[in-house]
Chain A
Amino acid sequence: MYNTSDILETIRMIQNEHLDIRTITMGISLLDCADSDIGRSCDKIYRKITTRARDLVSTGEDIERKYGIPIINKRIAVTPIAMLLGASGGDPVLYAKTLDRAAKAVGVNFIGGYSALVHKGFSPGDEALIASIPDALSLTDFVCASVNVGSTKSGINLDACRIMGEAVRQSAVKTVDRECIGAAKLVVFCNAPEDNPFMAGAFHGPGEPDCVINVGVSGPGVVRAALAGQESKNITEIADIIKRTAFKITRMGQLVGTEASARLGVPFGIVDLSLAPTPAVGDSVAYILEEIGLEQCGAHGTTATLALLNDAVKKGGVMASSKVGGLSGAFIPVSEDAGMIAAASSGALCIEKLEAMTAVCSVGLDMIVIPGDTTAEVIAAIIADEAAIGMVNAKTTAVRVIPAIGKKEGERLSFGGLLGYGPVMKVNKNSPAKFIGRGGQIPAPLQSLKN
């Protein structure tokens, strides 16, 4: 028989502390859908997605019932569309509309993969796809776009940073009537992982199998609850508590991923053991840092506590799953985290501190609302700075900032749902235009003499 307190602990985590499976994401390769005719290519894509993912949502719901654990999102990631566009030519937005239609047909709430990998340069398909991103995001509901502009092995494509600065701004401009939501569906990466199940940055990398199931877990509320009342513990003991909790959370992901893969007849890819916050009160990464001992997230000490949290989550999670991948760590999306929203609103948390935090957390500057008059060059430079942190530290970094067109510091954008809401944060307006305008490639960093 089971230990009563173990059973009650599991139920408490789910009922009171927001433990859930954040997403089951099916990765689908579209390479076999490539065709020299874009119409035929789109037909094949629609057929393949609606066949492969036909039972994804219902299977997720069945598993939810069986184990009594909520599975919040069912999603799809596909091969970077720029690869197919290279073969077919034509209007890239047709691909976006096809993906959107397929997502709606199978009932998922996001489809990622309107993507291009340009860390070392552009092919014609990449250029056409990137140019179409603002239109694609404004004309579809569920399509997410991402572009990889740098890597530790190849350096940073500064031309790509410049173009993406403009693309982020235009994506917001074209969706100004919908709280600039376009920019919230666009991520600019350095060292993008090929198996990330989380949106908006999910795509199905060219090195992946034909079809695969990846699972993203969540549970900041559970970690915070485990740390509550541990006033007398030193920081080593705190790290141990986080590890133990992360282990339990990740076991849920492993269980659900294995079961989903068996039921759908698709290989199990990875568990992404990220702590992904939601705007719900209590489900916040910022609150964990505050529970460790900060007056408010953003205070000095935030980077150190976040580094400890990120590392402890990985150490606990790796033991709990046979395959770990994706982004794995702690997310710090400002608009999706009640504690971050509060810290940004009160002025305790600024973009410069968030940038420092991205050097030790799992991703990057995420879901940050910036003033509507921020220039494309400044956004490009934010991207270049963030890519530099990722490149030098051999980690994934990303930028998902939302220019609030027509709004200024102190106002806010409200996206609703899991994307939450965020105050417009102050941005340094000194111009980096000359640097960005130079173009070219920032060379890859030396991998020795590390100091």
Chain B
Amino acid sequence: MRAVITVIGKDMVGILAKVSTKCAQHNANVIEVTQSVLQDLFAMIMLVELSGLDCEFSALVDEFIKLGEEIGLSIHTMHEDIFNSMHRI
């Protein structure tokens, strides 16, 4: 299964590194990354493959919420199907 990790907040050094490190720790393979900075607002969207994940998906969701709180960003980890069903017919 694949999930979309969305990071939104104030731009700072090392956001991509922190999030991808966490993915690597749990054997989640990053397939694609797009990011944009509009004025000060940073938005990064990461598509990850989770077939080799070494923990429960919900545990990964929690870890990213925790990481987001630590660095003052909002991080959402959601199964890709929610975007498929909402935006594709």
Contacts and interface: CB of A to CB of B under 8 A. Distances in A.
A449 interface: no
Interface string A1-42: 111101111110001000000000000000000000000000
A67 B45 contact: no
A62 interface: yes
Nearest to A249: B86
Contacts of A2: 4, 45, 47, 80, 83, 87
A1 B85 CA distance: 14
A251 B6 contact: no
A66 interface: yes
Contacts of B45: 2, 4, 7
Interface string A58-82: 0000100111110000000000000
Contacts of B61: 65, 68
A67 B81 contact: yes
Contacts of B6: 7-8, 11
Nearest to A64: B58
A66 B4 contact: no
Interface string A248-282: 10011011000000000000000000000000000
Contacts of B4: 2, 7
B43 interface: yes
B43 to A, nearest CB: 7
Contacts of B32: 1
| Interface-centre pick from B32, B78, B85, B87 (highest chain A CB count, 10 A) | B85
A9 B47 CA distance: 17
A318 to B, nearest CB: 13
Nearest to B80: A2
Contacts of A65: 57-58, 61
Interface in B23-68: 32, 34, 36, 43, 45, 47, 57-58, 61
A371 B79 CA distance: 49
Given A2-B47, A4-B34, A11 B8 contact: yes
A63 to B, nearest CB: 9
B13 interface: no
A248 B58 CA distance: 25
A9 to B, nearest CB: 8
Contacts of A69: 78, 82
Contact of B36 (A4, A9, A252): A4
A11 B76 contact: yes
B29 to A, nearest CB: 15
Nearest to B83: A2
Contacts of A8: 6, 8, 43
A274 B85 CA distance: 19
B76 A68 contact: yes
A11 B9 CA distance: 13
Contacts of B57: 65-66
A227 B47 CA distance: 31
A15 B9 CA distance: 14
A65 B8 CA distance: 19
Given A2-B47, A4-B36, A8-B43, A252 B77 contact: no
A68 B81 CA distance: 11
Nearest to A6: B87
B87 A67 contact: no
Nearest to B44: A4
Given A1-B47, A4-B36, A68-B61, A248 B86 contact: yes
Contacts of B78: 10, 66-69
Interface of B: 4, 6, 8, 32, 34, 36, 43, 45, 47, 57-58, 61, 74, 76-83, 85-87
The list of the 4 closest CB pairs from A to B, nearest first, reads A68-B78, A6-B87, A65-B58, A255-B85
Given A4-B43, A65-B61, A251-B86, 17 more contacts: A2-B87, A7-B4, A8-B6, A10-B78, A10-B86, A10-B87, A62-B58, A65-B58, A66-B78, A67-B78, A67-B79, A68-B82, A248-B87, A251-B85, A252-B82, A254-B85, A255-B81
6 contacts: A3-B87, A7-B6, A10-B78, A10-B87, A66-B79, A67-B79
